[in-house]
Amino acid sequence: MATIPTAAGTIDSSELGRTLAHEHVFVLGTEYQQNYQDWDEETRVAEAVTALAELKSLGIDSILDPTVLGLGRYVPRVRRIAEQVDLNIVVATGLYTFCDLPFQFHYNGPGLLFDMPEPLTELFVRDLTEGIGDTGVRAAFLKCAIDTPGLTPGVERVLRAVGQAHVRTGAPVMVHTNPHTQSGLVVQRVLAEEGVDPSKVLLAHCGDSTDVDHLAELADAGSLLGMDRFGLDELLPFEQRVDTIVRLFERGYGDHLVIAHDASCHIDWYTPQDAARVAPRWHFRHISEDVLPALKARGLSDDDVDTLLVANPRRLFE
Ligand SMILES: [Zn+2]
């Protein structure tokens, strides 16, 4: 048992229940929004409440929302939504970049123009222990990213700061990875150098790959694997996503897997029309309506589904 902060108060890890391990409430570019977009706060909040309440009605109890700096996280809005739905929204701290750091950190840090202890670590620890801004909402886990550009200087600074914040707080770590470049191996090496407990690391987007040998290698080193982009069939078709999970279960890796859609109530990276055309099943209902029945048709038991949805996410926090 462990205590987990959420956007609407603290819960015990036993209350997480059926958990989608990677869903966003909002992904926004605030600067674009303020200058160019028709943003109706009340409408967007109401839409999010409806979508998340529907998720609860489909049997989901919690989501892990890895929206951090760089993705437009705004916790007062998320808290307002969380207070209106019977669904635990677990929020994160961290920074999302594939290359460079934002200029708020570029000149500040050890050995830099403004020489100081790593400000990223200090900020992450404060978000985890005291709360994000003045919201009083504490982040429950850390999030960063590495993609095709690899371990750039900016990405490495964030990854090491995330590792240091984990060591100081014990908070679990989620990293956006690209399984096609095997960047999960880089994550494991760097975080091990920082002293991170490998069983507290969730490598997101492993489910974009069908390379079971590579995924098994990542799991053997202790990580959880995010099979977390159901609905993004353009990146990997549905049947292959299901098949990869079944094959990992057959090889004994069921207790290393979590599932999700990586969907959002609203994301401004493209229009809703384009998203619906390119990825028509990329929504919060897909796992409950399509994925779980398909996994059971391929032989997974109710206990296996509980392992994916309940036991594995819970263990990350205990
Ligand atoms: Zn995501």
Is the pLDDT assigned to residue 76 strictly greater than 90?
yes
- Average pLDDT over the chain reads 97
Distance in angstroms (rounded) separating the CA atoms of residues 79 and 38 = 22
Whole-number pLDDT of residue 131: 98
Contact predicate 81/52, CB 8 Å: yes
The Å distance, Cα 21 to ligand 1 centre, comes to 10
159 pLDDT above the threshold of 90:
yes
Say how many Å lie between the CA of residue 208 and the centre of ligand 1.
Answer: 13
**SS3 readout for 61-80:** CEEEECCCECCCCCHHHHHH
Question: Is 26 a residue whose pLDDT tops 90?
Answer: yes
Please tell me the distance from the alpha carbon of residue 4 to that of residue 114, in angstroms, as a whole number. Answer: 35
Give the separation between CA 298 and CA 153, rounded to whole angstroms.
Answer: 43
- 131 C-alpha to center of ligand 1: Å? 22
| Cβ-based neighbour number of residue 41 at 10 Å | 9
Predicted local distance difference test score (pLDDT) of residue 37: 87
CA of 109 to the centre of ligand 1 (A): 27
Distance 178 CA to ligand 1 centre (A): 12
Determine the pLDDT at residue 181: 96
Percentage of residues of the chain with pLDDT beyond 90: 99
Q: How far is the CA of 39 from the centre of ligand 1 (A)?
A: 21
Q: How far is the CA of 143 from the centre of ligand 1 (A)?
A: 10
Q: Give percent of the chain above pLDDT 70.
A: 100
Question: How far, in Å, from the CA of 114 to the mean position of ligand 1?
Answer: 32
122 CA distance to ligand 1 centroid (A)?
A: 24
Q: 42 alpha carbon to ligand 1 midpoint, in Å?
A: 24
pTM: 0.97
95 — pLDDT class (breaks 50, 70, 90): very high
* DSSP states of 88-121: EEEEEEEB--SSPPPHHHHSEETTSSEE-S-HHH
Q: What is the pLDDT of residue 286?
A: 98
CA 250 to centroid of ligand 1, rounded, Å: 27
Q: Exposure of 127 by Cβ count < 10 A (0-12 exposed, 13-18 middle, 19+ buried)?
A: buried
What is the CA(24)–ligand 1 centre distance, in A? 6
Per DSSP, the three-state class of 184 is: helix
CA of 179 to the centre of ligand 1 (A): 15
* Rg of the chain on CA atoms, in Å: 18
* CA–centroid distance, residue 65 to ligand 1 (Å): 8
What is the C-alpha separation between 281 and 283, in angstroms, rounded? 6
pLDDT one-digit tens code per residue, 184-233: 999 999 999 999 999 999 999 999 999 999 999 999 999 999 999 999 99
Q: What is residue 82's predicted lDDT score, i.e. its pLDDT? A: 98
* pLDDT reported for residue 190: 98
Residue 93 CA to ligand 1 centre (angstroms)? 13
Q: How confident is the model at residue 126 (pLDDT cuts 50, 70, 90)?
A: very high
28 C-alpha to center of ligand 1: Å?
A: 12
pLDDT for residue 172 is more than 90: yes
Residues with CB under 5 A from ligand 1 (ion): 262
How many whole angstroms separate alpha carbon 87 and alpha carbon 36?
32
Average pLDDT over residues 150-175: 98
Distance (angstroms) between ligand 1 centre and the Cα of 111 equals 32
Q: Which residues pair with 108 in a beta bridge?
A: 114
Q: How confident is the model at residue 1 (pLDDT cuts 50, 70, 90)?
A: confident
